[in-house]
Amino acid sequence: MIKEKVQQLAKSIFDDVVTNRRHIHANPELSFNEYNTSAFVAAQLDALGIPYQKMADTGLVALLKGAKPSDKVIALRGDMDALPILEANDVPYKSKNEGVMHACGHDVHTSSLLGTAKILSELKADFGGTVKFIFQPAEERLPGGASVMIKEGVLENPKPAAVLGQHVMPLIDAGKVGFRPGKYMASTDEIYVTVKGKGGHGAQPQQNIDPVIITAHMLVALQQVVSRFADPKLPTVLSFGKVIANGATNVIPNEVYLEGTFRTLDEKWRAEAHQKMKKMAEGIVESMGATVDFNIVNGYPFLINEEELTKRSIAHAQDYLGKENVLDLDLWMAAEDFAYYSQVSDACFYRLGTRNEERGITSSVHTPTFDIDEKALEVSTGLMAYLALKELGN
């Protein structure tokens, strides 16, 4: 049976996948600068005899056609970029690029997709249809490598019926995976605000236009966008993580600078909320004698897993791993640029468990101590290959 063949191949290539993952982990590159990683992936594809082309400067898209007749196409995506984080792990494959680290598991995604390509190339005689492998740059940086690759035609010639992607999840034990049909991850927008007043001595506030107290009023009022304008049934988050008022104990500054994020799961409400926030901020600040530059940079859209595709994928995952190893996921208010694929194609984005409490592998993504239980790499390669084959009708 095809399942047993996939499982056996996933076991047989495990050591190679671990080696590839450790190489990529030790040599991380930031978004839109994945030149060496891209060259490494290209060399691996050359060794497999899988043709590819470059896209988005450092991205690659490869095609593998099965020997049996079929016009169906399925796309599989893995991202390649790392984060500007100084790694704190003491491991043989620790980052050699100081201040840059694969702290979000993209080394796992890339090495796993190469492993999946290896499995499917070995099974080429057993299936019909075409698998498109998308090795994508810059998931971590706006405008997102997915949007660039889509603009350059990654979902055309041939057009896939669906796109599948996976992402590490340190909350889930290695050996397990998680799915959620429908809306899954939030849109994300970046907010940059400057409130401009008139600074001066803290003992003479009547002579100043205090941007600090005005900013405080604005921040509290803006939370009404969530508590009073948003539908209570629609998750919405507005958070400000940076506030700089560069005065002193007795110095009121001329301006206050802020940075924040807005996240939700509905594109219509997202646009409405932008207008409400901007209008509210301008009204409050100007009514108190100051001015405000309120700038919202649109980030990734919300991510939606097509219902029927995801339900099929859940059933296939249960068949491959056992029902006890396939979990239901909650909504996740983080963002992912895989969302761009989900907005223009049927898509399924699922979670790969990487946790091992006994070995102390519990750190969250985007932290200096993030790592994985590498036994997850046998699941990551085999399951994605099996899902692709089942979607192709094999």
The total domain count for the chain is 2
202 in the same domain as 104 = no
244 in the same domain as 178 = no
User: What pLDDT, on the 0 to 100 scale, is given for residue 11?
Assistant: 98
User: What pLDDT, on the 0 to 100 scale, is given for residue 45?
Assistant: 98
310 in the same domain as 173 = yes
- Residue 294 has φ and ψ, to the nearest 5°, of -115, 105
Per-residue pLDDT of 77-127, as tens digits, reads 999 999 999 999 999 999 999 999 999 999 999 999 999 999 999 999 999
| Structure confidence at residue 177 as a pLDDT band (50, 70, 90) | very high
Q: What is the mean pLDDT of residues 291-296?
A: 98
51 in the same domain as 146 = yes
Token pair for residue 298?
Answer: 């649109």
* Region of residue 244 (phi > 0: left; psi between -120 and 50: alpha; otherwise: beta): beta
User: What pLDDT, on the 0 to 100 scale, is given for residue 16?
Assistant: 98
Q: What is the dihedral of CA 361, 92, 112, 134, to 10 degrees?
A: 120
Q: What is the mean pLDDT of residues 256-270?
A: 98
Contact 171, 330 (CB under 8 A): no
Of 265, 281, 297, the one marking the end of a domain is 297
Per-residue pLDDT of 140-157, as tens digits, reads 999 999 999 999 999 999
User: What pLDDT, on the 0 to 100 scale, is given for residue 12?
Assistant: 98
For position 215, which CATH number holds?
A: 3.30.70.360
| Structure confidence at residue 243 as a pLDDT band (50, 70, 90) | very high
322 in the same domain as 287 = no
Per-residue pLDDT of 211-228, as tens digits, reads 999 999 999 999 999 999
Q: What is the mean pLDDT of residues 20-30?
A: 98
Q: What is the dihedral of CA 166, 170, 176, 179, to 10 degrees?
A: -50
Helices assigned H by DSSP within 153-265: 211-222, 224
Answer yes or no: is pLDDT of 71 > 80: yes
Q: What is the chain's mean pLDDT, rounded? A: 97
Of 279, 297, 315, the one marking the end of a domain is 297
Please give the residue range of the domain that contains residue 267. 189-297
| Structure confidence at residue 394 as a pLDDT band (50, 70, 90) | confident
Per-residue pLDDT of 27-56, as tens digits, reads 999 999 999 999 999 999 999 999 999 999
241 in the same domain as 375 = no
Length of the chain: 394
User: What pLDDT, on the 0 to 100 scale, is given for residue 271?
Assistant: 97
Q: In angstroms, rounded to a whole number, what is the distance separating the alpha carbons of residues 332 and 325?
A: 20
What is the set of active-site residues? Answer: 81, 139
User: What pLDDT, on the 0 to 100 scale, is given for residue 341?
Assistant: 98
What is the pairing mode between strands 303-305 and 182-185? antiparallel
Of 262, 297, 332, the one marking the end of a domain is 297
Helix (H) or strand (E) holding 61: strand 59-65
Contact 255, 210 (CB under 8 A): no
174 in the same domain as 195 = no
134 in the same domain as 80 = yes
138 in the same domain as 23 = yes
Residue 76, CA atoms < 13 Å, CB-side half-sphere: 30
142 in the same domain as 38 = yes
Q: What is the DSSP string of 118-166?
A: HHHHHTGGG-EEEEEEEEE--TTSTT-HHHHHHHTTTT-SSPPSEEEEE
Contact 326, 314 (CB under 8 A): yes
Write the CA distances from 260 to 26, 231, 296, integer angstroms. Answer: 32, 21, 9
193 in the same domain as 176 = no
169 in the same domain as 43 = yes
Query: Given strand 68-79, what is the order of strands in its sheet?
Result: 52-55, 59-65, 128-136, 68-79, 162-173, 347-355, 177-179, 326-328
For position 336, which CATH number holds?
A: 3.40.630.10
